[in-house]
Amino acid sequence: MNKPTVPDDANLPAPGIADPAAVVPPQVFRLVVEQAALAISITDAHANILYANPTFERVTGYSRAEVIGHNESILSYRVTPKIVYETLWAQLKRQRPWNGLLVNRRKDGSRYLADLTITPVLDADGQTTHYLGMHRDVTEMHRLERQVQNHKALIESVVDAAQVAIVLLDENEHVLLDNQEYKKLIGDLGKEPAATLMAALRTQIGPGFDNARASRRGLSNREVLIEQPHRPPRWFSCSISWFEEQDVSADAFYEPARRHYLLLTIQDISELKRQQEAIRINALHALLAEQERIQGLREALAGAVYQLEGPLNMLEAAVKMLERRKESPGDDPLATVLDDAVRNGRETLETLRASIPYDAGELVQLVDLNTVLHDLLKLSTPALLAAGVVVDWQPAAKLPAIQGRATQLSTLFKQLLDNAVEALYESRSGQREMRVSTLDCSDHVEIVIEDSGPGIPEEWRYKVFEPFFTTKGADQHHLGMGLAIAQEIVARHGGTLDIDASYQPGCRMRVQLPCPRGEPS
């Protein structure tokens, strides 16, 4: 390939020399126009064509001979609005170049879109003697542009019609595009819902969020809870997907660069969550009622066995005393009667023991104590309202799930909450306040239930956990088994339950339960 020849400095016009013909021979100008890749025509002052180059012939389909002497309007398809020509001519009359788009018709009748520039050519007196027209066929470019616009309009209308909120973010998480559903969220969640939800996802997922982001990994259906003061909590299911685009700026023409975009889809699932919660709470209510019924039965029977053991033991001792006194006790009718009574009593006790409902085993599973306590508090709302108790619920933002038996744990916390409500109900003085909090303590979780009631005296601190110990006088509702059962459930879970003696005034129950690490709540 020949290298382009660079003229010697001696051949270049000296600065200030205006006549290009001095260095470029006039025939070169003619050749340039002849060989130009643009359709070039030269007209007189009335737009009658005097000259057309080969590209003009190729683009319009007219030979030079067919157009020379004709007005340029030979190319007009007559759909270009009149105002366009008027503007064109007004500009030319002011001896200014005009550029614009015209719909032209070729010789064969086909149409094309011409990107036309007309330049007036002035003589030495400043009069317009000719016009230079240069145009190219931009139909394909226009078609592609329109196609892109059509696609964009289609995508926008589909996105707008979607029943979920959709928002497109750039790499700095600035909103580039959103839809109607997203705009509705602005009214609900403040001026930038995407920022609120991205922050909530970041908190919920932790370092994994930024790792996923760095490797452009998507997320699907992550449920996010947004709590706002004085408003019901809102739940959203969020999905993230990434896509990349070639940088379209001129800078990136030879060095292609990519831009990354994040598509966040947001579905408001608050109603669904409320329904799920209602179903869960109803099920919990039924389960606890059933548990309570069985427990009541178990306690009553165990209580009866416990009460009968005493007199029976006394009778047994009496029989033994009589046996020691007499040579042949079989002859003593009293001893015989007592012996029969003891035997019958033992049989009755065994029958009673056998009728105590069996405590069916329950599967160990991952239990989210925040949800358990939340549901129990919801369930206790009528009782809390009736007792005028103000509840301060302080769940840990991220509480690991524990391995446990869900029903037993519900029974445990229901017992502790009921005890607190009852203590507050009986309390005659001061505010009736209850505080329930959960805490993540690395190898265990801690649940604290505090009430501002009368508290438990120091001397009863351990006794209250004994079976059948009650401060209320045993009746149908107070057999004194509640804390004993609670203690047993905690022990079965390898945890501890204690009363914080330093807490004044009132009562603070603290439950600690072990939890395996790495189990998300």
- The site for ligand FAD (CB under 6 A) is made up of 41, 43, 46-47, 71-73, 75-76, 80, 85-86, 89, 102, 104, 114, 116, 118, 131, 133, 135
DSSP 40-56: EEEEETT-BEEEE-HHH
User: In the block, which residue shows the tokens 């839809």?
Assistant: 179
User: In the complex, what is the shortest distance from the CB of residue 72 to ligand FAD, in angstroms, rounded to a whole number?
Assistant: 3
Q: For 357, which DSSP code?
A: P
DSSP 271-340: HHHHHHHHHHHHHHHHHHHHHHHHHHHHHHHHHHHHHHHHHHHHHHHHHHHHHHH-SSGGG-HHHHHHHH
Q: Which of 418, 436, 441, 406 lies closest to 513 in space, CA to CA?
A: 441
> Of 8 and 108, which CB lies nearer to ligand FAD in the complex structure?
108
User: In the complex, what is the shortest distance from the CB of residue 32 to ligand FAD, in angstroms, rounded to a whole number?
Assistant: 18
> Of 135 and 374, which CB lies nearer to ligand FAD in the complex structure?
135
> Of 134 and 166, which CB lies nearer to ligand FAD in the complex structure?
134
> Of 91 and 470, which CB lies nearer to ligand FAD in the complex structure?
91
Q: Are 62 and 74 in contact (CB under 8 A)?
A: yes
> Of 128 and 403, which CB lies nearer to ligand FAD in the complex structure?
128
Could you report how far apart the first and last alpha carbons of the chain are, in Å? 71
> Of 43 and 380, which CB lies nearer to ligand FAD in the complex structure?
43
User: In the complex, what is the shortest distance from the CB of residue 43 to ligand FAD, in angstroms, rounded to a whole number?
Assistant: 4
User: In the complex, what is the shortest distance from the CB of residue 122 to ligand FAD, in angstroms, rounded to a whole number?
Assistant: 14
User: In the complex, what is the shortest distance from the CB of residue 31 to ligand FAD, in angstroms, rounded to a whole number?
Assistant: 21
Distance between CA 413 and CA 420 in Å, rounded?
11
Q: Are 13 and 20 in contact (CB under 8 A)?
A: yes
> Of 88 and 489, which CB lies nearer to ligand FAD in the complex structure?
88
> Of 73 and 99, which CB lies nearer to ligand FAD in the complex structure?
73
Question: Rounded to an integer, what is the distance from CA 23 to the centroid of its chain?
Answer: 71
- The helices-and-strands tally (H runs, E runs) of the chain is 14, 17
> Of 100 and 514, which CB lies nearer to ligand FAD in the complex structure?
100
User: In the complex, what is the shortest distance from the CB of residue 65 to ligand FAD, in angstroms, rounded to a whole number?
Assistant: 18
**10 Å Cβ neighbour count for 404?**
24
User: In the complex, what is the shortest distance from the CB of residue 170 to ligand FAD, in angstroms, rounded to a whole number?
Assistant: 42
User: In the complex, what is the shortest distance from the CB of residue 60 to ligand FAD, in angstroms, rounded to a whole number?
Assistant: 8
User: In the complex, what is the shortest distance from the CB of residue 100 to ligand FAD, in angstroms, rounded to a whole number?
Assistant: 10
In sequence order, the 6+-apart residues with CB closer than 8 A to the CB of 165 are 178, 179, 181, 182, 184, 185, 193, 265, 266, 267, 268
Tokens of 210: 């930024």
Q: Which of 503, 340, 489, 357 lies closest to 420 in space, CA to CA?
A: 503
Distance between CA 29 and CA 178 in Å, rounded?
54
